[in-house]
Every structure is written in C-alpha cells, then in structure tokens.
C-alpha cells in the first residue's frame, strides 16, 4: 500500500475518509494488517504529506490511532492529550491539518476506562494535572445519572464510560464553537467532524454518527 499523494487525497471525501478508518479498525480487530512497506512510505512522504484524517485521542498507551485504525506513514494526523479535549493550540493544529494540509475528517476519539476521566470523576487534584482535570469536569457534571454522589466516582466504570462519551460530544461542540475555520469547512461539506469511542477490551471503535 502506497502513501497518499496530493491526487489521492483530493479525491477522498469526508465519508470515504470515515470508511477508510472503519475498514482499518476492522482489520485491527481481525488481527490483519494492510500490506504496506513502511520504509517505502518513508521515501514516498519525504517531500510532502497528504493525510486524509485528523484524530484527537487520549495519550493512553493502549489507544494509538495509527494502530487501532491500521494506518501507515502519511495517512493521518494524530493529536494526543489526556482526556482528548481541545485547547487553543490543539484547535490551531486541527485548523492547519484541515485548511492547509487537506484532511477531510476530524475524529474525537475517547476510550473506555479512561484514566483522565476517572480523575475527573474523583475530582483529583495534583500539580499541573489539576488544570487538566478542570477541563474535563464539565462532562462529569453533564452526566446526571446516577444522582447518588457515593457512586459518581472512578469505581463505577459504567459512570466513567458515560462521562467519557459525554466528553467526546462536548469536545466536538467546543471545536465547532471555538474554531470558525473548522465550523465553516464542515458547513460547506469540506470536512466532517465526528466522535467515536474505543473499547479497550475488544479493540472496536464505535462511531457516533
């Protein structure tokens, strides 16, 4: 499998980009890999890159976007931060990826049993982590059930995963509200912004369509 070129990138639609990721995740689940020569792709991309998607995911060591979507060099931009939320720098990176580098799809990828989300559920406080946790706590507050504070914590994995899902949706709202460039591109059909959740027990990515 060759690296993408300007010609192949320009021919890809947002929906086709999504299909590429779905097919790649299915290969990952089936323990199959596309036939690609990574060293050849190093050479193919030495003078330019033409990725088709931008993935915002958590730093979790089990959730590498390149692996779970079975993608090679030059295929995707990968943005990683604990809790997969956005700030000014990440939004700027996404604007570069879509407006200047030509990606057609933005995916906000959360995952089950997320440690950062667990910290938010427990209202953890520790050094610089405190500021990060503060950015995730709106998702905790937005999940109304259960109401009993005794079970609204990291030990309740069902609650944790509900907060993770809500955090994905809130992050997408933030992208649209805080980036006029990405909002306009989506409105014009140039890109698609979508959320997804990776299941750490199965390797499956469920997209919120």
Q: Is 35 exposed, middle or buried (0-12, 13-18, 19+ CB in 10 A)?
A: exposed
Domain, as residue range, for 195? 6-208
Reported as a single tens digit per residue, the pLDDT across 71-103 is: 999 999 999 999 999 999 999 999 999 999 999
pLDDT computed for residue 209 by the predictor: 87
Q: Is 125 exposed, middle or buried (0-12, 13-18, 19+ CB in 10 A)?
A: exposed
Residue 172 has pLDDT above 90, yes or no: yes
pLDDT computed for residue 88 by the predictor: 98
Q: Is residue 199 part of a domain?
A: yes
Residue 171 makes CB contacts below 8 A (sequence gap 6+) with 56, 84, 85, 86, 108, 195
Average pLDDT over residues 167-174: 98
Q: Is residue 1 part of a domain?
A: no
171, 84 contact by CB (below 8 A): yes
Nearest 5°: CA angle at 15, between 10 and 16?
A: 55
Number of domains in the chain: 1
pLDDT computed for residue 200 by the predictor: 98
Of 195, 146, 193, which is closest to residue 166 (Cα–Cα)?
Answer: 195
Residue 167, both tokens: 């955090």
pLDDT computed for residue 199 by the predictor: 98
Quick check: helix, strand or coil at residue 101? coil
pLDDT computed for residue 32 by the predictor: 94
How far apart CA 158 and CA 165 sit, in angstroms, is 11
Residue 2 has pLDDT above 90, yes or no: no
Q: Is residue 37 part of a domain?
A: yes
Share of the chain above pLDDT 90, in %: 94
Can you give the pTM of this predicted structure? Answer: 0.96
Q: Is residue 162 part of a domain?
A: yes
Reported as a single tens digit per residue, the pLDDT across 44-64 is: 899 899 999 999 999 999 999
* Mean pLDDT score of the chain: 97
Average pLDDT over residues 136-146: 98
Give me the CATH number covering residue 123: 3.40.1050.10
Q: Is residue 190 part of a domain?
A: yes
Average pLDDT over residues 27-32: 97
For residue 196, list its beta bridge partners. 109, 207
């Amino acid at each position: 499998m060759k690296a993408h070129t300007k010609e192949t990138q320009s021919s890809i639609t947002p929906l086709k980009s999504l299909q590429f990721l779905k097919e790649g995740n299915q290969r990952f689940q089936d323990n199959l890999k596309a036939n690609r020569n990574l060293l050849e792709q190093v050479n193919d991309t030495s003078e330019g890159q033409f990725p088709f998607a931008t993935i915002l995911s958590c730093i979790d060591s089990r959730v590498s976007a390149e692996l779970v979507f079975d993608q090679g060099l030059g295929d995707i931009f990968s943005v990683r931060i604990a809790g997969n939320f956005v700030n000014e720098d990440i939004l700027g990176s996404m604007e570069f990826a879509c407006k200047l580098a030509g990606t057609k799809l933005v995916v906000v990828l959360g995952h089950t049993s997320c440690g950062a989300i667990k910290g938010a559920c427990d209202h953890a406080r520790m050094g610089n982590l405190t500021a990060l946790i503060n950015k995730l706590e709106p998702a905790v507050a937005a999940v109304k059930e259960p109401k009993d504070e005794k079970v609204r914590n990291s030990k309740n994995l069902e609650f944790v995963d509900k907060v993770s899902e809500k955090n994905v949706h809130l992050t997408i709202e933030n992208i649209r509200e805080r980036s006029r460039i990405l909002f306009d591109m989506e409105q014009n059909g140039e890109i698609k912004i979508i959320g997804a959740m990776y299941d750490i027990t199965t390797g499956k990515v469920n997209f919120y369509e």
